[in-house]
Structure 1
Amino acid sequence: MTKRIVVTGIGATSALGGTAPENWANLLAGVSGTRTLTHDWVAEHQLPVTFAAEASVRPEEVLPRHEAKRLDPSVQFAMIAAREAWEDAGAPDVAPERLGIDWATGIGGLWTLLDAWDTLREKGPRRVMPLTVPMLMPNAGAGNLSLYFGAKAFARTVVSACASSTESIANAYEHLQDDLADIVIAGGAESAIHPITMASFASAQALSRRNDDPQHASRPGAIDRDGFVMGEGGAALVMETEEHAKARGAKIYAYVVGGGVSADSYHITGNDPEGHGAARAVEQALAQAGASPDEVTHINAHATSTPVGDPNEYGALRRVFGDRIDEIPVSATKASTGHLLGGTGALEAVFTILALRDRVAPPTINMTEPDPAVPFKLSGETQPLGDGPQLAISNSFGFGGHNAVVAFRSYDG
């Protein structure tokens, strides 16, 4: 028997705000989180891109100092988002053996790794911190969340580039279906605004170079888009069965009704221009939801603002929805938040859930002249979703050919 899985708590920290409500309010208001970087290392390394979407509330403003210094910044963001989601869910009383963690990152403890390398070169091996490996390992987010919340059912980690945290949500759905836990904390986080990643993404011609106008640099669907904007932060969902949630009197945001995961097997960085893999992930999510493409009323697109990625996503969705893709309200929220890499899918899942709750598709800022090759129904204003039941999908695609899609239904109980 298929269980009904619900979201009872959300948390988020990004360039738009330090909490999920702040992120949502600023997203709806059309705020851009992108700013010129003020770090000395920008000029020191002569970086060709001098801006990014840094988290607006720094982790050290939220976490106790003794805790923060033992965590890589990516895990600091994980802690902040997951704690907010847990409190939002009512800090449920659950047996440790029935609480699981499905967490994700795209890169992991980048800052810890490279800071340790600098310390080794400059000061020698005795000065390298003994906690370096536990801090840099990609599973540090899942491990530390498990320790903090006392989660003993499992603590699993997904690392599939920019599809990571969407895949973690799809996994959590299946783990709840399989009765491996009563509650799962799912999501992802990333902190990769670092000289090496900024330089390497710029070298790959993936980043926008609008140094003179950073707030308008990310332009998904626009004909003059020139790349994505690096972002950082994290987001978390508390997921459980509807039966479990109602038994404890929890508020419910939305149903998680399915997920799809596929691989392109096409190119290590580029996605399949024919969109076969991405389309299959959408179809899998809808099949698991027991839904047809005609039922979808909103899409949060991956839409990174790269010249090649945006039209490829449009082509993939056209395979699934046909001409109707031009009628579905679509939001490309990376225009506001930047691209959080492994954390971006979870943040966009939060936005998709709130879009269903409030019956509104958030705006896509920085829309200048639309690209005829990307004729999504994007708008610089909010788009109403109407009354009645709603079904939405959120897409994430990553280097390595990873595709992940998760589907949500509105909760009207």
Structure 2
Amino acid sequence: MTEPVAITGLGLITPAGTDTDATWKVVHAGQGSAASPDPALAGLPVDFSCRVPLSAEALDDRVGRASWRMSRNAKLAVVAAREAVRDAGLDPTAWNGDRVAVVVGCGFGGEAERAAQERRLSEHGPDLISALTIPLIIPNMAAGEVAIDLKAHGPGLATATACAAGATAIATAHTLLRAGLCDIAVAGGTEAASSRLTTSGFWRAGALSQRTGDITGASRPFAADRDGFVMSEGAGILVLERYEDAVARGGEPRALLVGSGSTTDAHHPTAPHPDAHSAEKALRTALTMAGLAPHDIDHVNAHGTSTRLNDAGEAAMIARALPHRPSVTAAKGVLGHSLGAAGAVEAALTVLTLQHCTVPPIANLRVPAPEFDLDCVTGHPRPQNVRTAVTHSFGFGGHNVVLALTRAS
């Protein structure tokens, strides 16, 4: 068992709300999806998504004077990181920035900005594209802008493990802290990739729900009639510190990150391995690191994409590895799938489940598919004395990440 890492701050900006409390309130209720018609997708076979409820101008106001040079995904990351640092009781003007790491996952980078600059290039030629085109579109700039904003000079990394990127970032930060390479890690994921091209690409791959007549009911993890995920955006950032350091400075840990496991299916570019054995190995690695047995797990925050293949493999893996049937939830019923941000958003929600001793229901799920031997929370929040939980994240390329968390006290 390794020394635990304290999670001392949370920052969220999602389609359910523009901060952590607002997001938790909507996810906890679990009564519907944040999906709505998306004017940017008009005319496509799938023309709806889950968007953060802030206008572009309002988001720029939140970010401040540097917003002009940032892509939307970077802006979301900066807003979430500021909230997380503030929640941790830390002051970037007073800390030793050389000992602060930033690790932010992102799947696509500045997708809307890429599309805009490609249009300008096509219509007006190279002289009229922005001189900022490259920093607007490369996926590491969210991490870079967060580091600039927070004056963090320690290790700066951008993880790109597709829909596992946010969880990979947190696992990487866990490793950096345990190795003594930083004293504070600001880690998580961000994404704003709902463009005409990405939406069409996921639709062509058969990954998106096509319930255009039932938009708010389209994302339904673990349901028998699930037909795909709903595109989403957002950011989730956590502040992590070694437990003894957090306590010594008077910090109040929200939860403890006690283990992480990462594996690769090495099976197919987009389809998860049907037996989910590599995903199970990631789970067992996280438990071993944490010094936990499978029966110690009270709760699972599932990846739960609402796709046929992912939910089937994940359900089989949970039933096999955790046969005592811990409670299972999946936030994508409310939030849609925020791709590179999802793992970090769901890690933050798992922290809140531990703190509040209540499990949010899976929105739009009435009865799980009969072949799934899972204790899915449905209908209403479930009070539960959750002491230990795991959260799963999986991504194209066969990436699997599992984080193990426990209550702080």
1:34 deviates by: 3.0
CA contact (8 A) 2:103 2:156 kept: yes
Aligned: 1:330 with 2:324: no
Unmatched 5+ stretches in structure 1? none
Q: Is 1:25 paired with 2:22?
A: no
Question: Paired residue for 1:54, among 47, 51, 54?
Answer: 51
User: In the alignment, is the contact (CA less than 8 A) between 1:257 and 1:289 conserved in 2?
Assistant: yes
> Partner residue of 2:7?
7
Distance 1:205 1:25 in 2: 32
Q: Does 1:211 align with 2:220?
A: no
Residue 365 of structure 2: aligned partner: 367
Aligned counterparts of 1:66 and 1:117: Cα–Cα separation in 2:
25
Give the secondary structure class of the aligned counterpart of 2:60: coil
| 1:55 and 1:233 in contact (8 A); partners too | yes
Q: How far does residue 266 in structure 1 lie from its aligned partner after superposition?
A: 0.6
**Partner deviation per Cα, 1:206-260 (whole Å, 9 max, x = no partner):** 1111111111111111111111111100010000011111122112100010111
Aligned to 2:352: 354
Structure 1 segment 20-169 matched on structure 2, within 5 A: 20-39=20-39, 41-43=40-42, 46-58=43-55, 60-64=57-61, 66-92=65-91, 93-169=94-170
Using the aligned pairs only, state the percent identity: 36
Q: Give me the CA root mean square deviation.
A: 1.4
Are residues 31 and 72 of structure 1, via their aligned partners in 2, closer, same or farther at CA, if it must alter by over 3 Å? farther
Q: Secondary structure at the match of 1:63?
A: helix
Alignment pair present for 1:201 and 2:202: yes
The whole-number CA distance in structure 1 between the counterparts of 2:162 and 2:364 is: 26
C-alpha contact (below 8 Å) 1:230/1:339 kept by paired residues: yes
Contact in 2 for aligned 1:33/1:54 (Cα 8 Å): no
Are 1:60 and 1:68, in contact at CA under 8 Å, matched by a contact in 2?
A: no
- Structure 1 counterpart SS, 2:224: coil
1:397 aligns with 2:394: yes
1:163: how far off?
0.6
**Alpha-carbon distance, 1:189 to partner:** 0.3
Residue type of the alignment partner of 1:67: A
**Paired residue secondary structure (2:207):** coil
What amino acid is the match of 2:166? S
Asked if the contact 1:59/1:68 (under 8 Å) is kept, the reply is no
Q: Which amino acid aligns with 1:10?
A: L
Structure 1 counterpart of 2:285: 284
Of residues 312-321 and 331-340 in structure 1, the stretch that sits farther from structure 2 once superposed is: 312-321
CA distance in 2, matches of 1:304, 1:120: 36
Moved more, 6-15 or 105-114: 105-114
Contact 2:2 2:289 in 1 (8 A): no
Query: What is the CA–CA distance in structure 2 between the aligned matches of 1:372 and 1:310, rounded to whole Å?
Result: 13
TM (normalized to structure 2)? 0.96
What is the rounded CA distance, in whole Å, between the counterparts of 1:179 and 1:42 in structure 2?
46
> Does structure 1 conserve the Cα–Cα contact (< 8 Å) formed by 2:30 and 2:381?
no
Farther-moved stretch of structure 1 (369-378 vs 266-275): 369-378
Residue 59 of structure 1 deviates from its aligned partner by: 5.2
Post-superposition offset of 1:384: 2.2
Shift of 1:110: 1.2
The 8 Å contact of residues 41 and 48 in structure 2, kept in 1 or not, is answered as no
Equivalent residues, number: 404
What letter corresponds to residue 339 of structure 1 in structure 2?
Answer: H
Moved more, 233-242 or 2-11: 2-11
Q: What displacement does 1:265 show?
A: 0.5
The code of the aligned residue for 1:401 comes to G
Q: How far did residue 38 of structure 1 move?
A: 4.2
Please state how far the C-alpha of 1:31 moved relative to its aligned partner.
Answer: 4.2
Could you tell me whether the CA contact under 8 Å between 1:310 and 1:374 is conserved in 2?
no
- Taking the aligned partners of 1:208 and 1:111, their CA distance within structure 2 comes to 22
Q: Distance in 2 between matches of 1:129 and 1:243?
A: 47
CA contact (8 A) 2:41 2:195 kept: no
Cα shift readout 1:168-225 (whole Å, capped 9, x = no counterpart): 1111111100011110000010001111111111111111111111111111111111
